[in-house]
Structure 1
């Protein structure tokens, strides 16, 4: 379990993390999301003692990271896959870590097999591809068979087979009762593996929720319905927890709080012809973008927008 209480980090006048309160519980995959510059990496560094909080605290399994006698057995972390000696083989890199914690050689061999590094285990890590470097970083994180696993962008550089492997690995670790805390910018992957979400923006907590609840709050349970008599249908569907919107004179309504089945049955009961009944699908990415819209620190522009800002009519003429 990871517990943060009013966790704050300042660098001079810059507040990177601003009073975060959250708990990452065992037995579940928790996604850690936020725009670039939101404070995710700084938060993860404070969890494992690489950065000291300006104020507040963060504990892993009831203690600060530095207080654990054998930290690799408590929390395994991947924060920077390339933080390895380039002249050392993958096997020797893992053995050096194992020796510092009294971890037997057989465990090194186990994580090499688990992460698919058998064929390159004796090769210098400096020659590894980004994907192989990620696998070695994950092997390091799992070396101590930790109760808590924390991975920062673990699918970077992985091919489709590697992405599927990570997905299955994360869910299996959570199924074993471990605490799994994962940051990623790939919303499609987070939607597939995460049960819970911690979302930050500009260092502050924006949401502590589930994927389902976040999507629902963004309109994920809305249904578009077109009918011959939208006024009468609106009246028939009205009730507690039901929200109905639609333009005057339009056949279309957007209904929240009723399923497509319920809408269809209600329309049939009242003899109202229905031309369209379409559940509206909101992705995790859309819900995330809506939630963090005002917390994005770095904005890009299209070529056309940049040209317009510069007062040019033709984007090409500005080149």
Structure 2
């Protein structure tokens, strides 16, 4: 258990590669005690930001600190910040145990700690196998073991569920929550919105290198959610036509049942009543994180598609 709580703080963080701006005046804070999801479309600048957090890239302008100082200024960085940015960035000829042992020796950690983290991530049976022969899922587990080696207060993981089977996804979800419950600062990126919805409490969303949202999961869904309403009616066809005339989006999953977007349940009920159309069921459906995320990042995604197409 770490002795102190550390925050990640980015202030006007900017990174340019020639004429291209990868991260643009990005400011946010990742606090301890909760899992913070780091989201954004491909090319949004997430990996670049994470590399700057751990000192692998130098900001063009602005700053990012962990516990009030840059990562490189920590005297024992593995004991402060554990990171997984690329699961395959390992010496392929080394065994999993030797890989971790080499890292442990840089910080004076006992070999017993290596065995502890191998067991923690479920690799104790393959610790003497060469890492070059590992599947992506096994490599992810080894990378997470390396991140946890120094028992750090801050954990930074880039797409940690890639390559994991359903049991592995559940394992990493439980692990992240337990780390946050211990009071650690946990920042994790993922493209799996369904997983972020049940794992993260707070979200930092970026697009085109800029901050789009810094909020909780519930607040983002409430602000941008495009939820629907299920409507059951014996006169569904007439009701569908009525709602479409009022600019609703309507689909019919089955006879007599409509799924309506763009109108509140109260409005649908009032419209049906005014036209004498019976409604037997009117059930609002809560929007998903994925729907809210897609709404928030729509312009950023369209920009990237246009950029790739050269328009």
If the TM-score is normalised by the length of the shorter chain, which range does it land in? 0.7 to 0.9
Question: Which position in structure 2 is the counterpart of 1:90?
Answer: 96
Q: Is the 8 A contact 1:223 1:277 kept in 2?
A: yes
Aligned: 1:294 with 2:299? yes
User: How many angstroms does 1:246 deviate by?
Assistant: 8.4
Distance 2:63 2:135 in 1: 37
Q: Is the 8 A contact 2:227 2:288 kept in 1?
A: no
User: How many angstroms does 1:298 deviate by?
Assistant: 3.8
Q: Is the 8 A contact 1:246 1:254 kept in 2?
A: no
Q: Pairwise mapping of residues 226-265 of structure 1 onto structure 2 (< 5 A)?
A: 247=245, 254-255=263-264
Q: Pairwise mapping of residues 81-230 of structure 1 onto structure 2 (< 5 A)?
A: 81-219=87-225
Distance 2:138 2:229 in 1: 45
Q: Is the 8 A contact 1:8 1:56 kept in 2?
A: yes
Q: Is the 8 A contact 1:134 1:155 kept in 2?
A: yes
TM-score (norm 1): 0.80
User: How many angstroms does 1:200 deviate by?
Assistant: 0.3
Q: Secondary structure at the match of 1:87?
A: coil
User: How many angstroms does 1:61 deviate by?
Assistant: 1.1
Q: Is the 8 A contact 2:225 2:288 kept in 1?
A: no
Is the alpha carbon distance of 1:61 and 1:180 closer, same or farther for their aligned partners in structure 2, counting shifts above 3 Å?
same
User: How many angstroms does 1:220 deviate by?
Assistant: 5.5
Q: Is the 8 A contact 2:225 2:291 kept in 1?
A: no
Larger Rg: 1
Question: Which position in structure 2 is the counterpart of 1:74?
Answer: 80
Aligned-pair Cα RMSD in Å: 2.7
**Which whole-Å deviations, capped at 9, do the CAs of 1:158-183 have from their partners, x for residues lacking one?**
11111110000000000000000000
Question: Which position in structure 2 is the counterpart of 1:44?
Answer: 50
Distance 1:219 1:211 in 2: 11
Distance 1:276 1:209 in 2: 34
**Which whole-Å deviations, capped at 9, do the CAs of 1:213-248 have from their partners, x for residues lacking one?**
1111123677566899xxxxxxxxxxxxxxxx9855
User: 5+ residue gaps in structure 2?
Assistant: 1-6, 235-242, 249-257, 270-276
Aligned: 1:55 with 2:64? no
Distance 1:11 1:249 in 2: 45
Q: Secondary structure at the match of 2:27?
A: strand
Distance 1:218 1:165 in 2: 30
Distance 1:70 1:54 in 2: 25
